[in-house]
Amino acid sequence: MFISSLILFALLLFFSLAETGNRANHGNFLWQIFVVSNILFLMIMTQILEKEKYIKNKLVFILFIYGFHIISGTIYLSRLFLTGTFH
């Protein structure tokens, strides 16, 4: 329940505050969404590993999910550096 309120507050902050001028595309009010999404990611992984007894090799599962997370983050960062914008 706590993570749900964090996500809601992060989204409300992002949608209610905006910058204009040169800083309009800097994403200064977007940073909290990244932090909360990482916390949510860790919470979901913890819940899956605690409740799902049918996953025989949990280490392989964790490495697969974490690898996908790293690959998608690398794609995002490369796009960020190549285009110069976060969206």
What does R_g of the chain's alpha carbons equal in angstroms?
A: 17
Q: Is the pTM of this model over 0.75?
A: no
How far are the Cα atoms of 47, 68, 87 from residue 54, in angstroms, in the given order? 14, 21, 38
- Cα–Cα dist 18/15, whole Å: 7
Residues 16-72: pLDDT tens digits? Answer: 887 777 776 766 778 888 889 888 888 888 887 777 777 677 778 778 888 898 899
